[in-house]
Amino acid sequence: GQQVMQIPQYQHVQEGEDFTTYCNSSTTLSNIQWYKQRPGGHPVFLIQLVKSGEVKKQKRLTFQFGEAKKNSSLHITATQTTDVGTYFCAGPDNYGQNFVFGPGTRLSVLP
Protein backbone atom coordinates (compact mmCIF):
# COMPACT_ATOMS: atom_id res chain seq x y z
CA GLY A 1 0.00 0.00 0.00
CA GLN A 2 0.87 3.64 -0.20
CA GLN A 3 3.42 4.82 2.35
CA VAL A 4 4.41 8.30 3.46
CA MET A 5 7.70 8.62 5.29
CA GLN A 6 9.26 11.53 7.10
CA ILE A 7 12.76 12.23 8.36
CA PRO A 8 14.03 13.00 10.84
CA GLN A 9 11.76 11.58 13.52
CA TYR A 10 13.08 14.05 16.09
CA GLN A 11 15.03 17.27 15.79
CA HIS A 12 16.45 19.38 18.57
CA VAL A 13 17.69 22.83 17.63
CA GLN A 14 18.91 25.91 19.40
CA GLU A 15 16.65 28.90 19.02
CA GLY A 16 17.71 30.80 15.94
CA GLU A 17 18.94 27.75 14.05
CA ASP A 18 17.25 26.53 10.90
CA PHE A 19 15.19 23.33 10.67
CA THR A 20 14.14 21.12 7.78
CA THR A 21 11.88 18.09 7.64
CA TYR A 22 11.57 15.86 4.60
CA CYS A 23 8.58 13.89 3.39
CA ASN A 24 8.67 11.05 0.87
CA SER A 25 5.81 9.14 -0.68
CA SER A 26 5.97 5.71 -2.25
CA THR A 27 3.57 6.92 -4.95
CA THR A 28 3.07 10.11 -6.93
CA LEU A 29 0.80 12.53 -5.13
CA SER A 30 -1.78 14.85 -6.63
CA ASN A 31 -1.14 17.20 -3.73
CA ILE A 32 0.56 17.24 -0.36
CA GLN A 33 -0.47 18.97 2.83
CA TRP A 34 1.46 19.98 5.92
CA TYR A 35 0.06 20.13 9.42
CA LYS A 36 1.48 21.31 12.72
CA GLN A 37 0.46 19.78 16.02
CA ARG A 38 1.50 21.54 19.20
CA PRO A 39 2.05 19.41 22.30
CA GLY A 40 -1.37 18.55 23.68
CA GLY A 41 -3.12 20.07 20.67
CA HIS A 42 -4.68 18.85 17.47
CA PRO A 43 -3.29 18.98 13.93
CA VAL A 44 -3.64 22.38 12.30
CA PHE A 45 -3.47 22.81 8.56
CA LEU A 46 -0.48 24.82 7.35
CA ILE A 47 -0.42 24.60 3.58
CA GLN A 48 -1.24 22.57 0.49
CA LEU A 49 1.09 22.13 -2.49
CA VAL A 50 -0.30 20.99 -5.82
CA LYS A 51 2.07 21.80 -8.65
CA SER A 52 5.28 20.01 -9.50
CA GLY A 53 8.24 22.00 -8.16
CA GLU A 54 5.98 24.39 -6.29
CA VAL A 55 7.49 26.56 -3.57
CA LYS A 56 5.37 28.46 -1.05
CA LYS A 57 6.42 30.68 1.81
CA GLN A 58 4.76 31.68 5.02
CA LYS A 59 7.02 34.15 6.85
CA ARG A 60 9.86 31.93 8.13
CA LEU A 61 8.39 28.72 6.69
CA THR A 62 9.24 27.53 3.17
CA PHE A 63 7.43 24.57 1.63
CA GLN A 64 8.58 22.71 -1.47
CA PHE A 65 6.96 20.05 -3.61
CA GLY A 66 9.34 17.90 -5.61
CA GLU A 67 9.42 17.81 -9.38
CA ALA A 68 8.26 14.20 -9.40
CA LYS A 69 5.52 15.01 -6.86
CA LYS A 70 6.74 12.24 -4.58
CA ASN A 71 8.59 14.31 -2.01
CA SER A 72 8.26 17.53 -0.13
CA SER A 73 10.10 19.55 2.45
CA LEU A 74 9.35 22.12 5.11
CA HIS A 75 12.12 24.52 6.08
CA ILE A 76 11.94 26.89 9.03
CA THR A 77 14.43 29.74 9.12
CA ALA A 78 15.64 31.03 12.49
CA THR A 79 13.46 28.83 14.67
CA GLN A 80 11.61 30.27 17.64
CA THR A 81 10.21 28.53 20.70
CA THR A 82 6.73 28.95 19.21
CA ASP A 83 7.77 26.55 16.42
CA VAL A 84 7.83 23.65 18.87
CA GLY A 85 5.55 20.80 17.84
CA THR A 86 5.20 17.87 15.49
CA TYR A 87 5.05 18.54 11.78
CA PHE A 88 3.12 16.05 9.68
CA CYS A 89 2.92 15.77 5.95
CA ALA A 90 -0.11 14.07 4.44
CA GLY A 91 -0.98 13.00 0.95
CA PRO A 92 -4.19 11.65 -0.57
CA ASP A 93 -4.47 7.92 -0.88
CA ASN A 94 -4.80 6.17 -4.22
CA TYR A 95 -8.53 6.86 -4.29
CA GLY A 96 -8.20 10.51 -3.38
CA GLN A 97 -10.70 10.30 -0.53
CA ASN A 98 -8.45 9.88 2.46
CA PHE A 99 -5.16 11.29 3.56
CA VAL A 100 -2.18 9.19 4.50
CA PHE A 101 -0.15 10.88 7.22
CA GLY A 102 3.57 10.62 7.61
CA PRO A 103 4.84 9.66 11.07
CA GLY A 104 5.74 13.28 11.80
CA THR A 105 8.88 15.13 12.83
CA ARG A 106 8.94 16.37 16.40
CA LEU A 107 10.75 19.66 16.74
CA SER A 108 12.20 20.89 20.01
CA VAL A 109 13.62 24.39 20.23
CA LEU A 110 15.98 25.18 23.07
CA PRO A 111 15.95 28.81 24.21
Partner 1 sequence: DAMVIQNPRYQVTQFGKPVTLSCSQTLNHNVMYWYQQKSSQAPKLLFHYYDKDFNNEADTPDNFQSRRPNTSFCFLDIRSPGLGDAAMYLCATSRADSGETDTQYFGPGTRLTVL
Q: Which span (17-25, 53-61, 72-80, 94-102) binds partner 1, by CB under 8 A?
A: 94-102
Minimum CB–partner distance for residue 94 and partner 1 (Å): 12
Query: Rule CB under 8 A: is residue 91 a binding residue for partner 1?
Result: no
Cβ neighbour number for residue 31 with a 10 Å cutoff: 17
Q: Which span (11-19, 21-29, 42-50, 61-69) binds partner 1, by CB under 8 A?
A: 42-50
The binding site for partner 1 (CB under 8 A) comprises: 30, 33, 35, 41-45, 48, 88, 90, 92, 95-99, 101-104, 106
